[in-house]
Structures are given as C-alpha cells and as structure tokens.
Amino acid sequence: MTYSADGQIIIPDEEKRLERQLCFAVYSAAHAFNRAYKPILDRVGLTYPQYLVMLVLWERGSLSVKTIGEKLDLDSGTLSPLLKRLEQAGLIGRARDPRDERQVIVSLTEKGAGMQCQVDAIMGAIGQATGCAMSEIADLREQLQRLKANLAAE
C-alpha cells in the first residue's frame, strides 16, 4: 500500500473502477450462484434460501427458529415466511417448545428428510458449474469465511 505524507492510503484511479472492487466481485458472484442454483433447485421445488434452511435441518435435526436464523444470518422477518412456505409444502413442521413456549422448534417431516438424498446431485451440479476443483472450492470458502470474519470484527 502507498501512503500520503499525512498517513492516508493512496488508491490508484484504476483500482477505483467497478470491476476492480472486491465488494462487486462478491456481489456479482453471489448473483451468479443464485442463477446457477435456480434451475437445479426448481427441479426439487426449493428456492435457494429454502435450500439453505433444509441443509441446516438435514445437518443438525430439529432446531429453534432463532437458531436457524443465527446459523443462516437471517432475521425473523425473512425467515418466518420462508418457513411457512416449507411447512405448506409438507417439508417441515413447526411446534412450540414444551420447555419454553416462546421458542418455536422446526423439524423435518418424513417428506423433508427424504429429500436429503438430493444433496449430492445438487452439490455435484453446482460444483461442475463453478469449474473449480474441490481444493479450489475449499480455498475460496476459507478465504470468504476469513473475509466475513474480518468484516464482522470491524
């Protein structure tokens, strides 16, 4: 990095261009992922956010709405309608926690649990769409997780 006499970072004009912005690269990659996932998830009847909820439930079993929201970094205003649609599709059930009536527990139904066998096909198709080897995917994931942690620490 280059600094001015008063200690300010000097950013070359070329680096200020849209296509050079890290935030835009991450943003546009996220949109590309959503576009790549859409036809694959359409075949199993899920949206991308619904797929993320199902991944959490397939991995962890029954969880509170609060825990799902924390795991996916989603607020209840976004998560509640999503869960309602999954429940209407017969993939999950929601019930009050008998130990704490304030908590709602989300569980997979038999139909929802049965969909877990789709994960390999979905991940395989997305992996192929990325054009990356598994080691490259792991490296990218680690870099992005580090980036997120750094940004969250600010």
pLDDT of residue 1: 65
pLDDT of residue 31: 95
Q: Is residue 11 part of a domain?
A: no
Bigger pLDDT: 10 or 29?
A: 29
**Domain span at 36:** 21-126
Report, as an integer, the average pLDDT of 39-46: 94
CA distance 116 to 91: 11
CA distance 104 to 90: 17
Bigger pLDDT: 5 or 88?
A: 88
Q: Is residue 140 part of a domain?
A: no
Q: Is residue 76 part of a domain?
A: yes
Give one DSSP letter per residue of 84-121, joined into a string: HHHHHTTSEEEEEETTEEEEEEEEE-HHHHHGGGGHHH
The rounded percent of the chain whose pLDDT value lies above 90 is 82
**pLDDT tens column, 116-135:** 999 999 999 999 999 999 99
Q: Is residue 152 part of a domain?
A: no
- CATH code at position 111: 1.10.10.10
* Residue 105 near residue 62, CB atoms below 8 Å: yes
Q: Is residue 145 part of a domain?
A: no
**pLDDT tens column, 55-111:** 999 999 899 999 999 999 999 899 999 999 999 999 999 999 888 888 999 999 999
Extract the tokens encoding 116.
């877990």
Tally the domains of the chain.
1
Report, as an integer, the average pLDDT of 16-35: 94
Q: Is residue 47 part of a domain?
A: yes
Q: Is residue 55 part of a domain?
A: yes
Global confidence as pTM: 0.86
